[in-house]
């Protein structure tokens, strides 16, 4: 049971949108804001003390990800990291080619950047995904061309929780030798939830966001395997080795350090618990509520094939957003996959790309867990759905 | 005495209303005070109002606020000078010079229009016109008199204490002061039309309250916020506003359950009118207002308007947009400032329940028959306890929001 501010208890199941910051993170951020407020670039002792926070967090993060500190850059979030990498690769490699391969189920900060690059003469190819939301490396091999300069594939999909075959893609690309395109992965939903080890495979660029794993909003991470190869997006004071100018978000970065620390100690147990809850929720809903479908990886998907914290489920005839509003009346907060409310986008783009029927794509909700989620929370959600779904269906069926 | 600036406010239509005139003037002054900062003095003199601020309030921001007060025909910033001929002449030349510089042209035409309220002043109005006209012509090269269509109309008011000079006039919104025509209850959706309809009736002197029907969980909190934002904006034109939020979910459900599908929309609108009328009667409100425009959508055909009209037993339904084209409504919404809020995408009341093929020409008899099984009074009685009311109080130029207790 959680509370929103000081008010009534709520059940927060929208953790893929953002997580409540970890208590350790809040303490560290507050401490840093109060005591280490100097500019890390300042020459004096006080500034050095702030700089040390950046250095130690960078080191810890590098160790956690299996890489080296000089390849880690702090940004304002994953949107900035994705933009910097995609636009940077396009600028730096355009003499080699103008072909980019991505997937239709990426986050908007990848898709919209690709569309922007398209207006500048780049050609974008989208890999198909199967009905579970997975791409297939053979499709990638088939689309690869001599002028392919960039491949961007997310590690875990944010709407359905599918794990993409990143390792296999990386190995296939290795076989290309000098023609190897830049390989980027948006790992926002993967960090802390599935193993991310950069020492075992070659990934050229990776994006992370602090607030998806317990750190504050407004701070993100960009990993670059060969930092010198790309131009920055922002020019200025030359912070972050010139890759990201702007005074560093010291307290947010300290928060990242605290979150990584927490993950190292608690990640395994938390993920196992979330996986159990995911399976329990999916199986219970499918057995108790008629005409209810788990989308993407099934309820009983083996733990190594699915992100433990996301379950996407459809209740045909009820538009997802109505179910979101209805559950909110019981202070249960879930989402409709993409945080978008315009009429044109009431159908999930990701589910449509997976080839699901429009009625399933229109009636889905995403339930996403955190380490705080309890069986009691899931039971409350099941109870609420059991009572509200038949009722809402009476109201919505007739318009079909 | 140094010269200072006041705002001269002209009001038209209310001057014509005979015995009611003092009432109307008092209301206008009261409404003006609500949009102006505290300590502003408003004085009345011979069919004009003068706004003066002892502190250094910006004339521009006060003029901007006054441009939203219905009943005002036009507004001018006026320079006040002592009743001395040289001071008046000097300021006249200043204004003309200023106009010439601002418009960056040597040749311009002008006209002096003097009004002598103070008969002690030695010159009559025509004499003042001649005198100041000569002054301008002699001093400024390129200035010529044009009595028909001057580039610059320079107005001079001679009053008891001082003379007031102005070379600039901006139009006010016209109409009647809000409140002189009684109170109306606006059926406010989140769309483009209904806020404009409310505005049109404010312009004719109605104090407007609004009622919005929300249908949780079929409509979300952002749709509600959008309505609240519209109400807040309308309050700035309407001398404040009370917004009533009526719970409509159970009524929608009952309509779906008991009534034929193709008439759902017609019956839904009739239920809204019934609920609105009930609230209006309790609050002593004299009319309902809707944003309907004849033929705009399937539910706004003549038979459908007839069906909604008949749902109100005693109160008329004013439809100020009935003869407007959509483009005209959109232009007006832009002018009022509601347009950017209205086009936010959040789904408003029950667009979900609209059948693809609503009946466009239902007869009244058909509609009555369709409602036979609907427990109309019971549904309204059950909805009323859920009514929430929010007051948007306009005071000293700011809208303050607070919940209204029952």
Burial A333-363 (b: 16+ CB within 10 A, else e): bbbbbbeebeeeebbbbbbbbbebeeebbbb
CATH number of the domain bearing residue B97: 3.30.2130.30
Structural domain count of chain B: 2
- Mean pLDDT across the stretch B47-69? 85
Indicate whether B350 pLDDT > 70: no
Q: Which of A16-30, B244-258, B347-361 has the lowest mean pLDDT?
A: B347-361
Indicate if B289 and B153 belong to the same structural domain. no
- Distance (Å, rounded) from C-alpha B250 to C-alpha A345? 28
Query: Does residue B178 lie in a domain region?
Result: no
For residue range A190-200, list pLDDT tens digits in order. 999 999 999 99
Residues of chain B with C-beta less than 8 angstroms from the C-beta of A393? none
For residue range B190-243, list pLDDT tens digits in order. 899 999 999 999 999 999 999 999 999 988 888 899 999 999 999 999 999 999
**The tokens of A29 are what?**
């951020």
Look over chain A and give the mean of its residue pLDDT values, rounded to a whole number.
94
Indicate whether A6 pLDDT > 80: no
pLDDT over 90, % of chain B = 72
Query: Does residue B118 lie in a domain region?
Result: yes
For A321, the closest of B220, B257, B355 (CB atoms) is B220
Contact A1, A378 (CB under 8 A): no
Q: What is the pLDDT of residue B352?
A: 63
- Mean pLDDT across the stretch A105-122? 97
Query: Does residue B339 lie in a domain region?
Result: yes
ipTM of the complex: 0.80
CATH number of the domain bearing residue B330: 3.40.50.620
Indicate if B341 and B207 belong to the same structural domain. yes
Phi, psi for A107 (deg, rounded to 5): -65, 150
For residue range A130-182, list pLDDT tens digits in order. 999 999 999 999 999 999 999 999 999 999 999 999 999 999 999 998 889 99
For B216, the closest of A329, A396, A399 (CB atoms) is A329
Indicate if B131 and B256 belong to the same structural domain. no
Indicate if B321 and B219 belong to the same structural domain. yes
Which residue among A340, A357, A375, A395 is the active-site one? A340
Show which residues on chain A lie within 8 Å of chain B, measured between beta carbons.
Answer: 319, 321-326, 328-329, 341-343, 392, 394-396, 398-399
Q: What is the pLDDT of residue A43?
A: 94
Indicate if B190 and B339 belong to the same structural domain. yes
Query: Of B144, B171, B198, which one is at a domain's C-terminal end?
Result: B171
Q: Which of A5-14, A312-321, B100-109, B183-192 has the lowest mean pLDDT?
A: A5-14
Indicate if B398 and B360 belong to the same structural domain. yes
Could you give the angle at the alpha carbon of B176 between the alpha carbons of B170 and B178, nearest 5°?
Answer: 105
Residue B273 belongs to domain spanning: 183-403
- Mean pLDDT across the stretch B157-169? 91
Query: Of B119, B144, B171, which one is at a domain's C-terminal end?
Result: B171
Mark yes or no for CB contact B346/A341 under 8 Å.
yes
For residue range A344-393, list pLDDT tens digits in order. 456 889 999 999 999 899 999 999 999 999 999 999 999 999 999 998 99
Q: Is the pTM of this model over 0.90?
A: no
Mark yes or no for CB contact A343/B217 under 8 Å.
no
Mark yes or no for CB contact B256/A395 under 8 Å.
yes
One-character DSSP codes across A49-96: HHHHHHHHHHHHHHHHHTS-GGGEEEES-HHHHHHHHHHHHHHHHTTT
Indicate if B140 and B273 belong to the same structural domain. no
Q: What is the pLDDT of residue B219?
A: 87
Q: What is the pLDDT of residue B355?
A: 72
For residue range A292-328, list pLDDT tens digits in order. 999 999 999 999 999 999 999 999 989 999 999 999 9
Indicate whether A129 pLDDT > 90: yes
Q: How confident is the model at residue A61 (pLDDT cuts 50, 70, 90)?
A: very high
- Mean pLDDT across the stretch B71-78? 94
Query: Does residue B93 lie in a domain region?
Result: yes
Indicate if B245 and B151 belong to the same structural domain. no
Indicate whether A339 pLDDT > 70: no
Which stretch of DSSP H or E encloses residue A359?
Answer: helix A358-362
- Distance (Å, rounded) from C-alpha A261 to C-alpha A267? 10
- Mean pLDDT across the stretch B291-306? 89
Domains with residue ranges and CATH for chain A: 2-21+267-399 (3.90.1150.10), 23-260 (3.40.640.10)
Q: What is the pLDDT of residue A342?
A: 42
| Minimal-distance CA residue of chain A relative to B256 | A395
pLDDT over 90, % of chain A = 89
For residue range A48-58, list pLDDT tens digits in order. 999 999 999 99
Indicate if B254 and B363 belong to the same structural domain. yes
Indicate whether B351 pLDDT > 80: no
pLDDT over 70, % of chain B = 94
Residue predicted with more confidence, A5 or A273: A273
Indicate if B256 and B382 belong to the same structural domain. yes
Q: What is the pLDDT of residue A8?
A: 63
* Active site (annotated) includes residue A292: no
Give alpha helix (H) positions in B238-348. Answer: 249-258, 264-282, 302-311, 326-336, 339-342
Query: Does residue B177 lie in a domain region?
Result: no
Indicate if B258 and B155 belong to the same structural domain. no
Query: Of B102, B137, B171, which one is at a domain's C-terminal end?
Result: B171
Indicate if B38 and B99 belong to the same structural domain. yes
Question: Choosing among B262, B347, B349, which should be mutated to test the A contact, i.e. which has the most A CBs within 10 A?
Answer: B347
Look over chain B and give the mean of its residue pLDDT values, rounded to a whole number.
91
């Amino acid at each position: 049971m959680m509370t929103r501010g000081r008010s009534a208890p709520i059940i927060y199941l929208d953790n893929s949108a953002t997580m409540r910051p970890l208590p350790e993170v809040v303490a560290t951020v507050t401490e840093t804001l109060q005591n280490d407020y100097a500019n890390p670039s300042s020459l004096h002792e006080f500034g050095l003390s702030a700089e040390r926070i950046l250095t130690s967090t960078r080191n810890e993060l590098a160790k956690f990800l299996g890489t080296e500190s000089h390849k880690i850059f702090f940004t304002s979030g994953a949107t900035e990291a994705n933009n910097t990498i995609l636009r940077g690769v396009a600028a730096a490699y355009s003499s080699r080619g103008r072909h980019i391969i991505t997937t239709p189920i990426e986050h908007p900060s990848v898709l919209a950047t690709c569309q922007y690059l398209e207006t500048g003469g780049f050609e974008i190819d989208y890999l198909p995904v199967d009905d579970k939301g997975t791409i297939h490396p053979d499709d990638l091999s088939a689309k690869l061309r001599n002028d392919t300069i960039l491949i961007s594939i997310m590690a875990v999909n944010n709407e359905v929780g599918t794990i993409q075959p990143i390792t296999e893609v990386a190995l296939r690309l290795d076989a290309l030798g000098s023609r190897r395109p830049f390989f980027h992965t948006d790992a926002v939903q993967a960090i802390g939830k599935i193993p991310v080890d950069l020492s075992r495979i070659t990934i050229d660029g990776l994006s992370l966001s602090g607030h998806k794993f317990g750190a504050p909003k407004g701070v993100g991470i960009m990993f670059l395997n060969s930092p010198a190869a790309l131009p920055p997006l922002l020019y200025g004071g030359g912070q972050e080795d010139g890759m990201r100018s702007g005074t560093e978000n010291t307290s947010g970065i300290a928060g990242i350090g605290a979150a990584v620390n927490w993950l190292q100690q608690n990640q395994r147990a938390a993920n196992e618990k979330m996986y159990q809850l995911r399976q329990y929720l999916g199986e219970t809903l499918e057995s108790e509520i008629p005409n209810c479908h788990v989308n993407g990886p099934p309820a009983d998907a083996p733990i190594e094939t699915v992100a433990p914290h996301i379950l996407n489920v459809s209740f045909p005839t009820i538009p997802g957003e109505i179910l979101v509003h209805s559950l909110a009346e019981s202070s249960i907060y879930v989402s409709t996959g993409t945080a978008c409310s315009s009429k044109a986008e009431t159908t999930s783009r990701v589910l449509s790309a997976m080839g699901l029927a429009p009625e399933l794509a229109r009636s889905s909700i995403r339930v996403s867990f955190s380490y705080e989620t309890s069986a009691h929370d899931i039971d409350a959600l099941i109870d609420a759905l059991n009572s509200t779904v038949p009722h809402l269906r009476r109201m919505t069926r007739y318009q079909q | 005495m140094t010269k200072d600036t006041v705002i001269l406010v002209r009001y038209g239509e209310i001057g014509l209303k005979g015995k009611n005139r003092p009432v109307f003037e008092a209301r206008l002054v009261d409404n003006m005070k609500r949009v102006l900062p505290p300590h502003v003095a408003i004085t009345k003199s011979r069919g004009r109002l003068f706004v003066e601020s002892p502190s250094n309030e910006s004339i521009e921001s006060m003029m901007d606020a006054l441009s939203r007060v219905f009943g005002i025909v036009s507004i001018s910033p006026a320079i006040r000078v002592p009743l001395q001929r040289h001071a008046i002449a000097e300021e006249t030349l200043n204004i003309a010079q200023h106009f010439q510089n601002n418009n960056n042209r040597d040749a311009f035409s002008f006209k002096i229009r003097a009004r002598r309220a103070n008969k002690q002043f030695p010159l009559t109005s025509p004499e003042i016109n001649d005198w100041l006209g000569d002054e301008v012509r002699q001093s400024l090269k390129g200035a010529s008199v044009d009595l028909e269509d001057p580039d610059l109309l320079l107005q001079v008011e001679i009053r008891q204490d001082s003379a007031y000079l102005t070379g600039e006039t901006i139009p006010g919104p016209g109409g009647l002061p809000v409140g002189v025509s009684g109170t109306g209850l606006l059926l406010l959706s989140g769309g483009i039309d209904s806020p404009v309809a409310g505005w049109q009736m404010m312009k004719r002197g109605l104090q407007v309250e609004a009622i919005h029907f929300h249908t949780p969980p079929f409509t979300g909190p952002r749709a509600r916020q959008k309505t609240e934002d519209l109400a807040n904006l309308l309050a700035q034109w309407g001398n404040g506003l009370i917004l009533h939020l009526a719970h409509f979910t159970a009524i929608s459900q009952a309509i779906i359950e008991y009534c034929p599908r193709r008439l759902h929309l017609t019956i839904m609108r009739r239920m809204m009118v019934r609920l609105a009328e009930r609230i209006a009667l309790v609050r002593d409100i004299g009319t309902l207002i809707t944003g309907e425009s004849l033929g705009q959508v399937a539910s706004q055909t003549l038979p459908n308007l007839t069906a909604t009209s008949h749902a109100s037993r005693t109160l008329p339904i004013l439809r100020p947009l009935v003869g407007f084209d959509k483009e005209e409504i959109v232009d007006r919404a832009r002018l009022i400032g509601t347009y950017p809020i209205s086009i936010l995408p959040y789904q408003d009341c029950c667009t979900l329940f609209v059948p693809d093929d609503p009946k466009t020409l239902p007869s009244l008899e058909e509609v009555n028959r369709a409602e036979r099984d609907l427990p109309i009074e019971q549904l309204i009685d059950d909805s009323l306890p859920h009514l929430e009311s929010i007051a948007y109080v306009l005071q000293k130029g700011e809208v303050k929001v607070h919940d209204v207790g029952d």
